[in-house]
């Protein structure tokens, strides 16, 4: 196997961990090979998030996502990328029972996809699991604040840190994940001042989503950022309106078919021609 050139060498876990207080980490989600190929040269980290359950498969939440789904999409993203670090979510029900269950799930994810890291939602007791994984050579990204996998228990997707007790719990979760060895922390759906406090108090770089500009990086769901859905969360900035672009293109395509102008001569094969 030939060695990767500097232009195609993947960003590594230590390089992301070393961004604390330095160059901002640019991260987006990816679930397919074509999208990964488009994003890969432009970002530092691609996350194959369990949000794919809602974004790609039309599920009402992330709870229905399976390990097999994460592996399938992780393989697709790895095929489309060569530069960004790729992390894959451990889905609901694949790591909560015990550190041993988490290791079995995470090691399978890495072995079958080739990704460099896993991400798991951090809550009481999960720090022990993070340490168990890290001790066995599996790089881990923690996820604190709004936890989509807990949406049933929380009564929906609600921002965290609204009360002093809840605020302290999020800070404790972040601190515990950091001490357990997580090399980065996703901080989702918390007040800016809480995200700032977390960022100042942990050694790992923080990656905000609905958090604070003071985080060490930012991530969004790519389809939200590109405007593919009617509704997007408050914290999303739309950088395009691809839904409208796709609808306009499809309307023109349908009109051309109905008028008989597609396919035209230049799009038609003829007997005896080289084309």
pLDDT tens digit string along 180-205? 999 999 999 999 999 999 999 999 99
The predicted structure's pLDDT at residue 275: 58
Q: 158 pLDDT band (50/70/90 cuts)?
A: low
Active site residues: 188
Q: What is the pLDDT of residues 10-30, one digit of tens each?
A: 999 999 999 999 999 999 999
For 13-241, CATH number out of 3.40.50.970, 3.20.20.60, 3.40.640.10, 1.10.540.10 equals 3.20.20.60
Average pLDDT, whole number, for the chain?
A: 93
Q: Is 119 annotated as a binding residue?
A: yes
The predicted structure's pLDDT at residue 152: 61
The predicted structure's pLDDT at residue 151: 61
Q: Is 244 annotated as a binding residue?
A: no
Residue 146 contacts residue 173 (beta carbons within 8 Å): no
Nearest CA-CA partner of 130 in 144, 116, 120: 120
Q: Is 135 annotated as a binding residue?
A: no
Residue 83 contacts residue 45 (beta carbons within 8 Å): no
The predicted structure's pLDDT at residue 233: 85
pTM: 0.93
7-11 LR contacts (CB < 8 Å, sep 24+): 8/82, 8/83, 9/83, 10/81, 10/82, 10/83, 10/84, 10/85, 10/86, 10/116, 11/44, 11/45, 11/83, 11/84, 11/85
Domain boundaries, the chain: 13-241
Q: Is 50 annotated as a binding residue?
A: yes
Bigger pLDDT: 233 vs 45: 45
């Amino acid at each position: 196997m030939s060695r990767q050139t500097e232009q195609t060498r993947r960003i590594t876990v230590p390089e992301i961990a070393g961004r604390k207080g330095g160059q901002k980490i640019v991260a987006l989600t990816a679930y397919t090979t074509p999208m990964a190929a488009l994003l890969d040269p432009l970002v530092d980290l691609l996350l194959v998030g369990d949000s794919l359950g809602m974004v790609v498969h039309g599920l009402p939440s992330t709870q229905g996502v399976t390990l097999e789904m994460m592996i399938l999409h992780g393989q697709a993203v790895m095929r489309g990328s060569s530069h960004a670090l790729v992390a894959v979510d451990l889905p609901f029900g694949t790591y909560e029972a015990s550190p041993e269950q988490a290791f079995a799930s995470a090691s399978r994810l890495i072995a079958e996809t080739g990704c460099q890291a896993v991400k798991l939602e951090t809550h009481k007791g999960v720090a022990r699991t993070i340490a168990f994984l890290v001790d066995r050579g599996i790089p881990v990204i923690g996820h604190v604040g709004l936890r989509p996998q807990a949406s049933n228990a929380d009564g929906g997707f609600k921002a965290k840190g609204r009360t002093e007790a809840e605020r302290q719990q999020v800070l404790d979760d972040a601190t515990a994940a950091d001490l357990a060895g997580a090399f980065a922390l996703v901080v989702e759906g918390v007040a800016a001042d809480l995200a700032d406090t977390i960022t100042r108090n942990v050694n790992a770089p923080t990656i905000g989503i609905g958090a604070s500009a003071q985080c060490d990086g930012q991530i969004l769901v790519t389809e939200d950022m590109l405007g593919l859905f009617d509704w997007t969360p408050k914290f999303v900035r739309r950088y395009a309106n691809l839904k409208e672009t796709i609808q306009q293109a499809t309307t023109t395509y349908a009109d051309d078919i109905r008028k008989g102008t597609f396919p035209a001569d230049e799009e038609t094969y003829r007997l005896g021609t080289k084309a």
